[in-house]
Structures are given as C-alpha cells and as structure tokens.
C-alpha cells in the first residue's frame, strides 16, 4: 500500500474539493479504481481496524449513508451513525461541544449538514479529520465520484474534456466547477438568471483554471451550453431546505430540463449525469434518466469506491 505521508492527506479535513491538489485527486482516483476492480485484500480490509468514524446527518440520506457506512466496514472500521433527531446539532447542543465530544471518541467525523459554517466550526474544534458529506456550499465527495466516473469513461484522461452542468448553481455545481478547474476539465454552468454560482466560487475556479488550463464559463443559455458538451450534468431544482420555493423554482427552471429536445443540440454520444435523488419529470425526464447513456447509477456506485480511498488516505494513512 502507498504511504499517504507522501501526499500529506493523513489527518486532514476535507471540506472542499479545493482542499486537494490535482496529484492528490488523481492518486485517490487510482486507488478507487483498484478498490472497484477487486475484492480488498487482507491488508486493505484492515486499513481502519480499531478505528471508529462518526457519520452525522442533519439531512436525510440514502447514497451518502450507505456508501460511507459500507466503506468504513469494508476497510475494517466501525461506523457510528448519528441523526439530527439524536444529536440536535446546534439546537440541543452547540456545534463545538458536539465536535469536542466526538473528537475524544472517534477517528474521523463525516457530516452532512445544512450550513457550511457548521462544518467549519466542527473542524476548528475537532482534531480528527472532518469530511464534508454535503453542505449548502459544496458536495465534494459527490464531485469526486462524478469526475472519477468520467476519468474512467475517458480512459484515465480528464484534461481538455468538456462538462456542462444544467440547473441550480448550488452546492453540486460549486464542487463540480472547482474540481473541473483543478483537473483541467472545461466546465460550463448554465442556470436561470438569479441562480448562478456564488461569485467567490467562480473566482476560485478561475484561479485554479489558470494552472490547469481549464475554461470556466457561466451562462443563462442551456442550448448554447450543451453544443460541445461531452457530458451533461443536472441536479434537482429544489434542494432540502428550499421546499417553500418549489413552485417558483419550477417556473424559473422550466427551460432548463434535461430532455431529448435539449440533447438534440448536444454532440452525438454525449453522456448524461445526475447525482440523485432525481425529481423525474422536473429537471430530467424518465426517457433520459433511464437511457443507457445516463451515468447516474455508475456515479452512485462510485461513491463507495472513492470514499473508501478518501477514508484510507485521511484516516487509515495508506492507499491500496
């Protein structure tokens, strides 16, 4: 197994995809591919032996909970799952107090929260690694799985390829844009007016792109955005916590549905991506989501493999 000390990932927080370098990300992809291709050997199964990981959920979860819980178990560790009903993060108990307690019991904290500031506070008060399993600012573990999926599809090459995101310039779009910029993938974000990515995220992506050679673009024209896309990505129009905006968002996003009409403007052979859960008939049609060119199910599977690599690196101290 490769010692992670070479990459300095052991013990590090992972709150944003920008916390990684391009080389570190590609090393995680290579490890994830090895995990995906074979059953872990005895040494890999013992990577987290004797280590406990707290999985803390303010929001409901299917893919994040299952893949992280399985990842910890398959690496020989023990996952402690904590819901908001049990912990009352920031309500029953202050965030820093939760962090200081968990820090004395577990070897890492994986947290799925509403506010990114919650993660930042937790990381300030815990000495063990804190991993962002989703916040209102980013969804970095999802982005790692997404770009790993494309890395495999494109034969281990990412630089110069083209990804277009259609929808809300929110957490998933933020992490995708940053990771594309880091790895040299040309990224276009197409949103309705008023739903663009946060300016500071765009500036950070542009800064990363100056090194990688990626082109970063934000537009309000979904048709123009897909004309040269090799992969088209979408996500729900209304995220958890935005339910009171659902009707207005359906109106605002009506022209941004990923359907066969939109795909007719894209190159032949384009792939479609979705991080799930999907609101079928809103941001994506059944015809597209269930099509053979849709990678949503592979993306979901790859959450497991990428997160195993991430845990092996940040908590176990070695990569397979």
* Tens of each residue's pLDDT in the chain, 320 residues: 665 544 579 999 999 999 999 999 999 999 999 999 987 777 777 899 999 999 999 999 999 999 999 999 999 999 999 999 899 888 899 999 999 999 999 999 999 999 999 999 999 999 999 999 999 999 999 999 999 999 999 999 999 999 999 999 999 999 999 999 999 999 999 999 999 999 999 999 999 999 999 999 999 999 999 999 999 999 999 876 677 788 999 999 999 999 999 999 999 999 999 999 999 999 999 999 999 999 999 999 999 999 999 999 999 988 87
> Is 240 marked within a binding site?
yes
Is 261 part of a structural domain of the chain? Answer: yes
Is 47 within 8 Å of 316 (Cβ atoms)?
yes
Does 69 lie in the same domain as 152?
no
- 276 marked ligand binding residue: yes
CA proximity to 271, closest of 224, 218, 234 = 234
pLDDT at 319 (0 to 100): 84
Q: Is residue 186 within 8 Å of 219, Cβ to Cβ?
A: no
Non-local CB neighbours of 92 within 8 Å, separated by 6+ positions: none
Using DSSP, state whether 263 is helix, strand or coil: helix
Q: 114: domain range? A: 17-138+303-315
User: Is 174 a known ligand-binding residue?
Assistant: no
Q: Is 2 left (phi over 0), alpha (psi -120 to 50) or beta?
A: beta
* Residue 303 assigned to a binding site: yes
- DSSP summary character for residue 233: E
The whole-number pLDDT of residue 73 equals 95
Residue 265 annotated as part of some ligand binding site: no
Binding residue per annotation — 239?
yes
The annotation status of 275 as a binding-site residue, yes or no, is: yes
Q: Does residue 120 lie in a domain region? A: yes
Q: Which CATH number fits the domain that encloses residue 121? A: 3.40.50.1370
Residues 97 and 161 in one domain: no
Separation of first and last alpha carbons in the chain = 4
Catalytic sites, residue numbers: 112, 139, 142, 235, 275, 303
When divided into structural domains, the chain yields a total of 2
Q: Is 180 part of any known ligand binding site?
A: no
DSSP-derived secondary structure letter, 13: -
The response to whether 141 counts as a known ligand-binding position is yes
- Residues 281, 274 contacting (CB under 8 angstroms): no
Q: What is the pLDDT of residue 5?
A: 47
Q: How far apart are CA 252 and CA 135, in angstroms?
A: 23
232 Cβ partners below 8 Å, 6+ apart? 163, 164, 165, 166, 226, 258, 262, 263, 266, 270, 271, 272, 273
160 CB neighbour count, 10 Å cutoff = 13
How large is the angle between the packed helices 22-37 and 171-183, nearest 10 degrees?
100
Are 119 and 208 contained in the same domain? no
- Residue 250, annotated as binding a ligand: no
DSSP string of 100-124, one letter each residue = HHHHHH-SEEEEE-S-HHHHHHHHH
Do 191 and 198 form a contact (C-beta atoms < 8 A)? no
Euclidean distance between CA atoms 85 and 170, whole angstroms: 26
183 and 195 housed in the same domain: yes
User: pTM here?
Assistant: 0.96
Q: Residue 216 falls within a domain, yes or no? A: yes
264 with 285, same domain: the answer is: yes
Report DSSP state, residue 14. B
For residue 1, the model assigns a pLDDT of 63
The full 3-state SS of 265-294, as one line of letters, equals CCCCCCEEEECCCCCECCCECHHHHCCCCE
Coil vs helix vs strand at 30: helix
Residues 311 and 290 in one domain: no
Give yes or no: residues 53 and 181 share one domain.
Answer: no
Ranges assigned E (strand) in the chain: 2-3, 52-57, 78-83, 108-112, 130-132, 162-166, 186-190, 216-219, 231-234, 271-274, 318-319
- Are residues 280 and 286 in contact, defined by beta-carbon separation less than 8 angstroms? yes
Identify whether residues 310 and 172 lie together within a single domain: no
Between CA 289 and CA 286 the distance in angstroms is 5
Whether residue 171 is annotated as binding a ligand: the answer is yes
Q: Does one domain contain both 152 and 293? A: yes
CB contact at 8 A, 186 and 163: yes
């Amino acid at each position: 197994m490769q010692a992670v000390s070479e990459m300095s990932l052991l013990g590090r927080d992972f709150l944003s995809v920008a916390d990684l370098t391009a080389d570190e990300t590609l090393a995680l992809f290579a490890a994830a591919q090895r995990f995906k291709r074979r059953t872990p050997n005895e040494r890999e199964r013992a990577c987290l032996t004797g280590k406990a990981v707290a999985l803390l959920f303010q929001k409901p979860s299917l893919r994040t909970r299952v893949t992280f819980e399985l990842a910890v178990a398959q690496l020989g560790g023990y996952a402690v799952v904590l819901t908001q009903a049990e912990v009352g993060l920031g309500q029953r108990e202050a965030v820093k107090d939760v962090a200081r307690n968990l820090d004395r019991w577990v070897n890492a904290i994986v947290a799925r929260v509403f506010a990114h500031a919650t993660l930042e506070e937790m990381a300030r008060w815990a000495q063990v690694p804190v991993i962002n399993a989703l916040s209102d600012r980013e969804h970095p573990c999802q982005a790692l799985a997404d770009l790993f999926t494309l890395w495999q599809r494109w034969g281990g090459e990412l630089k110069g390829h083209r990804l277009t995101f259609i929808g809300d310039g929110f957490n998933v779009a933020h992490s995708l844009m940053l990771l594309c910029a880091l790895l040299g993938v040309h990224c276009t974000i197409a949103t309705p007016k008023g739903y663009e990515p946060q300016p500071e995220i765009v500036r950070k992506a542009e800064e990363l792109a100056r090194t990688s050679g990626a082109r970063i673009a934000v537009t309000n024209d979904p048709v123009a955005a897909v004309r040269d896309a090799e992969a088209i990505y979408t996500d729900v129009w209304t995220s958890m916590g935005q339910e009171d905006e659902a009707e207005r968002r359906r109106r605002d996003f009506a022209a941004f549905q990923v359907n066969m009409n939109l795909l007719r403007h894209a190159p032949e052979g384009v792939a479609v991506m979705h991080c799930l859960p999907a609101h079928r008939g809103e941001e994506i049609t059944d015809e597209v989501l269930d099509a053979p060119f849709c990678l949503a199910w592979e993306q979901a599977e790859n959450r497991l493999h990428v997160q195993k690599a991430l845990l092996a690196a940040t908590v176990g101290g070695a990569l397979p």
